Structure formats: C-alpha cells, structure tokens
Structure 1
Amino acid sequence: MTCIIIDDEPLAVNLLESYVSKIEDLKLLGTFNNPLDALKLLRETPVDLLFLDIQMPEITGVEFKKIINPEVKVIFTTAYSEYALESYDLNAVDYLLKPITFQRFLQAVEKVQEKPSSVQPEENVNYIFVKTEYRHQKIVLSDILFMKGLSDYVAIQTKENKVLTLQNMKDFEQILPKNRFMRVHKSYIVSFEHIEFIERNRIVIEGEYIPIGATYKDAFWKAINGE
C-alpha cells in the first residue's frame, strides 16, 4: 500500500516516517512540508493512503482533503482535537492526536487494510467477515443483535458472544443490508429482527437498553412504520 506524509513539522514527519518503515505493507513515496507541493505527485502517481496534518500555513489539511481524489484514503494527524468531527464528516479513515504512539498509528493503518467493501451486499447474503485479533471471523447476520462503537473498536453483540473489531461504524452502515439493520445512535446499530420493544425512545434487545439519538429518530420511526 503506497502512502505519503504531509506535515509542516519536520519532527512529526520524521516520527511518521520511522513508523511507516516498521510496517512491511506500507511503501512511502514521499514526504512534504507543504501540501501544495504534494499535488503533483498525487496527480501523477497512484497513492493509496495519505497521512495528513490539519493545521498548516497555506492550506489546512481539511481544505486539502476536499480537493484531492476522494479515492485516496486519509488519516489525519494533528495536535488539535476540535477538528475530529469535521474529519469524520469528510470520511477520513482515522484521526490521530499528537503525540502519536506507534500502537495507535498501527491501529489506524489496520483500519485501512481491513476496510470492508462499500458495495451494498445482495439481499440474499446472510453473513459478513470481520477481522478480530489475528483472524477473519464469519458472523451470520441473523445472529447479530446490535453493534456498539467503543472508541477505536466496534463490539458486535451476537446471540452467543461479543466480537471486537477495529472496523468502524460507518463501514458497517455501508455493508449491512438496510432492510435488516439501522444506525439509531452515534454508538449503536441495531437489528430490526431482534428488537423486543421500544420504550421512551429506547430500544430493548435481550435486556439491553439502546438509546435512539435525536439525529436518527425520524428515520428510525419511518422505518419502523414502513414509510
């Protein structure tokens, strides 16, 4: 997987460069202190992944993300937490806060490597594969009760157990059949099949009370009422 680093701080570039060198699956094509200098490479050479600082003098990382090929995956690297929400709105793979540890860097790269297909599966597909620890686990869709976002992980609660994966909630929103699953809160995706009852804007599944977020409430009730 090819990558480039854009950061106006030389020490930050050096650190990321050292991290990239430790991962065999990453090939560094170049480093840049000014994002505008990276445009020529991005236009002429296929690049899979971009490690992109946000706060830079001439153009911010957020502004730069909006003008490059959307197929290039982006991991934001910054010292400022206030940009996190906007970065996810831009479909960034991850958002790393400086100082960045190698473990956290590795988690972000694994999200790129294991990112599931954005193609909606056929309605007759009845399972998915998710990466958990060192294996890809097959999970039958009818066994999934709900999914819960936990910081850097997603916990998939099935009838039998709980599976933890580094894949994110947006990924699962894309690959799960929309007639069977729905995101009802920033931290929850539920299976319609396993809803026992709804009480005071809370969904109950196997004794778990799941809140319905204000952002998702209208769409949820429309789905429940068959609209």
Structure 2
Amino acid sequence: MIKCIIVEDEVLAQQVIQSHLQKAERFELVGVCNNAMEAQALLNKYEVDLMFLDIQLPGMTGLNFLRSLNNPPLVVLTTAYAEYALESYEFNVIDYLLKPISFDRFSKTISKIVDGKFVLQNKTESGDVTGDHIFIKSNSKFFKIDFPDIIYIEGMKDYLKIHTQENILVTHQTMQEMEQLLPSKQFIRVHKSYIIAVAHIKSIYGNSIEMGKATIPIGISYKEKVMNLIAR
C-alpha cells in the first residue's frame, strides 16, 4: 500500500481528494491536515510515501513547508491558482493539480505513481535531464537514488536491476523508459541490456567494460557510441 496524507485547509477540497483516493487501489490515507504544523506531526509519526499538498496554507505556505523538509515524501501539489506552476518545478514534484480537481485528471496522476514511471527532475530545452536524483518504485516502496550512486543498470525483459553502491533494486520498467530518466552526460547505454554510469568505468578493453567488480559486455550496435565516449 502507498501511504499518503492530505495537507489542505479547505474542507471541500479535502473531501474531493479523499473521494478520489477511495476509488483508487493500493492507496492508504493515514491522515488529513489543515496546516504545515499538523502535517509535520504526521510525517514524524508515520512513514508517508505520498503527500497531497495545498500551496496556500494558513501560517506557512505549502512551498515553504516543502522547502523546510530534509527528506520529503513524493509530493503532488494542489492549488486554485495556475501562476504557481512555474515556481513548483524547483521542488521536483510529481504533479501539479488545479482545483477543482476532476477524477479524470486525478487518475492520470495516480497512474504515474502506481506505474512508477515519472521523472522527478526538469529537462533542458535540448531534452536532457537536469537534477541529481530519481525515485524508483521497488517492492511497493519508493526509493530515492542519487545519480552518482548508480553504477550500472541491467535489463531483464520488463524489469530492471539497478546496481548502486549500497544495494540492488529491482523495478518494473523498460530500458527505454530508464534512458529517458537519466542524464545523457552521466550515463550511456552500451548493450541492449545494460546502461552504465560513465563515472564508474574502470577500464574498457575489447568488447568489455569493467565497472567495479562487474564486467559489462559492449553490444555490436553500441560499439561506436562507446568509442565516441573514449574519444571525447
């Protein structure tokens, strides 16, 4: 189950989000808060995976509250004002919902979360990813992974093994989807089943790449890309 809280001071908006959540599977609402202080108390009490956060709250705004958190859960911002959308991008939120929130629009946000296929960083005009981390869903939990911690990614049909410096996470995604989540300057696909972190390359020889204790094969169709990396 994905544990979530609603941080919203408008009763009607609280009821709408609660009603939408009741129609969605795999979500457990552990609390509804009227302000940032109540939300902080719930975050201290429960392991919260997802927070629906209103931008305009009494006492402290939702954005200031989010800014104060050292390790926030996944966040969906809610507001009646579209002009806050641009400012919200700096917080790497999953989505930005305008009130009144329709179930159709809410469902699209929920689908991103359940599938675990969302980008929590911005992209440049050229389409490359900025930011320093992604969130990955593995065993019903969302893990924050910093890009420098990723050594390589191994494809297994519709699943991926993400090898980091601390552990290995298995997630239900494709290699193509993962490529879109990673910054191209830091990662390179060297085989139909492997994406590697350039920073963790120890050596390249023949059709193989040493990555720490692992040896990664270079696919024939990816050889030129690897050679261009060496030349660069």
What range is the shorter-chain TM-score in? Answer: 0.5 to 0.7
CA distance in 1, matches of 2:41, 2:99: 27
Change beyond 3 A, Cα 1:122–1:43: same
Q: What are the residue-to-residue correspondences of 1:128-139 with 2, within 5 Å?
A: 129=158, 139=174
Cα pair distance change 1:225/1:76, threshold 3 Å? farther
| Equivalent position of 1:20 in the other structure | 21
How far apart are 1:45 and its partner, in Å? 1.3
Contact 2:82 2:98 in 1 (8 A): yes
The match for 1:125 among 154, 158, 168 is 154
What is the CA distance between 1:93 and its match in structure 2?
1.0
Aligned ranges for residues 180-219 of structure 1 at < 5 Å?
Answer: 180=189
Cα distance in 2 between the residues matched to 1:114 and 1:20: 16
Q: How many residues align?
A: 157
Q: Does 1:36 align with 2:65?
A: no
Shift of 1:125: 2.8
Normalised to the residue count of structure 2, the TM-score between the two structures is 0.56
Alignment correspondent of 1:3: 4
Deviations 1:27-46 (A, max 9, x none): 11111222212211111211
Moved over 3 A (4+): 118-124, 126-130, 136-139, 174-177
Report the CA distance shift for 1:107/1:74 in structure 2 as closer, same or farther (over 3 A).
same
* Unpaired stretches in structure 2, ≥5 consecutive residues: 117-134, 137-143, 160-170, 190-194, 196-220, 223-228
- For residues 190-217 of structure 1, what are the alpha-carbon distances to aligned partners after superposition, in whole Å with 9 as ceiling and x for unaligned? xxx89xxxxxxxxxxxxxxxxxxxxxxx
CA RMSD, 1 decimal: 3.6
Counting aligned pairs with the same residue, the percent is 36
Aligned with 1:96: secondary structure?
Answer: strand
In structure 2, the partner of 1:150 is none
Cα deviation, residue 65, structure 1: 0.9
Residue type of the alignment partner of 2:42: L
Contact 2:4 2:49 in 1 (8 A): yes
Between stretches 118-127 and 19-28, larger displacement belongs to 118-127
**Is 1:7–1:32's contact at 8 Å kept on the other side of the alignment?**
yes
Shift of 1:173: 2.4
Residue 110 of structure 1: CA displacement? 2.2
Q: Distance in 1 between matches of 2:187 and 2:92?
A: 20
Residue aligning to 2:73: 72
Alignment pair present for 1:111 and 2:140? no
TM-score (norm 1): 0.57
Q: 1:50 to 1:69 in 2, by over 3 A?
A: farther
